[in-house]
Amino acid sequence: MPTPRITRYPDGITAVDTEYVRPGHAAAHIIEQGGRAAFVDTGTNYSVPYLLAALDELGMTPTAVDYVLLTHVHLDHAGGAGKLMRALPNALAVIHPRGAPHMVDPAKLVKASIAVYGDDNYRSLYGELVPIPAERVMTTQDRQRLDFAGRELEFVHTPGHAMHHHAIVDLAYGNIFTGDTFGMSYRECDTAKGAFIVPTTTPTQFDPEQLIASVRRLAAYRPQALYLMHFARVTDVPRLADSMEFQIHEFVRIARKHGEAPAIRAEMRALWFDLLKRHGCTLSEPQLDQLFGGDLDLNTAGLIAWLARAKEKSLAS
C-alpha cells in the first residue's frame, strides 16, 4: 500500500491527497460516523490506492464504507469512482441525476474529457474508466436528505461550475462539501488573513449567474467550514463568498472585453496576482505561475466556451 497524505479535521472528517497533478492540489474526503465511512469524491483511477490506504490508516475496512458521494463527474473528482466501488462491496454511489448516466456508461464522458485535455494528457491523468453498475447508483433530488449512520446529509443542486453538480451539507456539524462550486484554495497562499480562494470555470458548462446563485445558496446555510476538493477545509465563509462573487463578475468583464484566449488569460493572471499580493502572499511570480498556470489555462478555456454558447444563444433568439 502507498503512504497516503492525510489531514485529520474535526467532526470525523479526513482529507486524503489524491496525488493528482501535484501534492496539495486535490483532496478526497472520508467522513467517519459510528464505525461507518463515506467517501466524498474519489480522485482518479491513480488515486484509488491512496484512498484505500487512508481508510486502512483510519482503522477501517472497505466493508465499512456505505457511500461514495460524488459532487460531480469531472474526472479529477470522479474518474476513480468505478475502480473504488469495485473495492467497496457495500457502498452505494450517490450522484447528481445529470451525472449518473455518465458513470454507468462513461463513453461520452471520456470523449468530452479528451476534447478538453487532449488524448495523451487524458491517458496519463485518468487511465481507463471503470463503469459503475446501475444498481449501485442512487441519484439525488435538490434538497434530498440521506441518513448516513444517523448523520443527516443534505444534497443541494449547485449548477454554475457544472450542470451535474451537487454539494453535500453536513447538517448537524455545519460543514459543506462543495466540490468545485466554491472554487479552489491552495494552502501555499494562506496568510494571516486566512485562505485565498479562486473560482474554477472549467469547460464546458460554466454559467456565471448560476454559479453566483449557487455560492449564495451555500453561504446561506452559514456553514462553519467548507471542504473543497482543491484543497480541503476553509473557514471564514462570508469573506470567501464575497471574493467568489467579485471574481466571477471580473471574469465576465474580462471575457467580454477581450473575447480571445491569450488576453483573457493574461488579465485573469494579473487579477489573481494582484489579489494575492493584497492578501499578503509572498510567493514569487514564478512560484505562482507554477501553482496557478494550469487553472489559468482551464479557466480561460471555460470562459471561451461560455462566450461561444452565449453567442449561439443570442443568434438563436
**Span from 43-51, 69-77, 79-87, 150-158 in contact with Zn ion (CB under 5 A):** 69-77
DSSP secondary structure of 184-203 = B--GGG-BTTB---B----T
Residues 239-278 that bind Zn ion (CB under 5 A): none
- Give the count of residues interacting with Zn ion (CB under 5 A): 2
Q: Shortest approach of Zn ion to residue 295 CB, angstroms?
A: 11
Q: Does 207 bind Zn ion (CB under 5 A)?
A: no
Contact present, 197 and 185 (Cβ < 8 Å): yes
Least distance between Zn ion and beta carbon 180 (Å): 4
> Dmax of the chain from CA atoms?
58
Q: Which helix (H) or strand (E) holds 31?
A: strand 27-33
Handedness of CA 191, 192, 195, 197 (dihedral sign): negative
Q: Is 164 in the site for Zn ion (CB under 5 A)?
A: no
Using CA atoms in the order 167, 179, 295, 271, what is the torsion angle rounded to 10 degrees?
A: 50
Could you tell me the smallest distance in angstroms from the CB atom of residue 193 to Zn ion? 26
Is 180 a binding residue for Zn ion by CB under 5 A? The answer is: yes
> Which is nearer to Zn ion, 33 or 178 (by Cβ)?
178
Q: Applying CB under 5 A, which of residues 25, 29, 74, 269 lies at the interface with Zn ion?
A: 74
Binding range to Zn ion, per CB under 5 A, among 3-11, 175-183, 260-268, 309-317: 175-183
* Of 138, 145, 165, nearest in space to 71 by CA: 165
Per CB under 5 A, which region of 20-28, 82-90, 180-188, 253-261 contacts Zn ion?
180-188
Radius of gyration of the chain, Cα coordinates, nearest whole angstrom: 19
Give the binding range for Zn ion (CB under 5 A) out of 70-78, 89-97, 139-147, 291-299. Answer: 70-78
Give, in order, the Cα–Cα distances in Å from 78 to each of 34, 93, 264, 275.
25, 10, 29, 31
**Considering beta carbons, is residue 83 or 165 the nearer one to Zn ion?**
165
User: What residue ranges bind Zn ion (CB under 5 A)?
Assistant: 74, 180
